[in-house]
Chains A and B, each alone.
Chain A
């Protein structure tokens, strides 16, 4: 059974702080690691999809890295802003069209 874990469960940071969270996943039969940003009352929004070991992706102040050999990915937010407050979900899949299995999410609150 594919089990995806995330830590921490929740995080409160001050505006301007940089932060990071972790996603861990089984490294066997890995194909892709997805990160989603999910604001309350909205649909999850795809941030990154990474497939290659050592991949690094960046979108504005948010970046992610991937280590498929050890089965983890980090999401970094530089200079957090209140609008970054959301739940960040990671999900891992075994093939290009397979379902992905979601982690429990990290809930981020950025305090102005």
Chain B
């Protein structure tokens, strides 16, 4: 069964450093998303991406965040200058635009900012 792949599974970074989280969505999916979950809190929407551009972003997704689909397969989330409060599990997801189909999630990247 097709999978969404995320790397790395765990990243530790120092506050102020840039991190890039990588995702390979399912190849025939058209819609891509990043969500995150801070420990003990809800899964929160960050950004959706369609047709090579951001279709929607949340208040969390400020100027420190950016997304790219550089080569038609990878979908990356960059955090330019990490803060302690960016520590969370980051999930990538992709979906088809077909009724009855949900998202396929990757297994997540646990980001720890120290």
Contacts and interface: CB of A to CB of B under 8 A. Distances in A.
B108 interface: yes
B4 A34 contact: no
A41 B107 CA distance: 8
B75 interface: no
A48 B103 CA distance: 10
Nearest to A48: B102
A49 interface: yes
Given A43-B4, A49-B101, A97-B31, A102 B43 contact: yes
Which residue, B43, B56, B58, has most C-beta atoms of chain A within 10 A?
B43
A96 B48 CA distance: 13
Contacts, number: 62
A59 interface: no
Contact of B104 (A46, A98, A102): A46
Interface in B52-69: 55-56, 58
Contact of A97 (B43, B55, B105, B107): B55
Contacts of B99: 32, 49, 51, 96
A51 B100 contact: yes
Interface in A79-112: 89, 91, 96-105
B42 A99 contact: no
The 9 closest A-B pairs by CB, nearest first: A46-B102, A43-B105, A102-B43, A43-B107, A49-B102, A99-B45, A34-B102, A44-B105, A104-B42
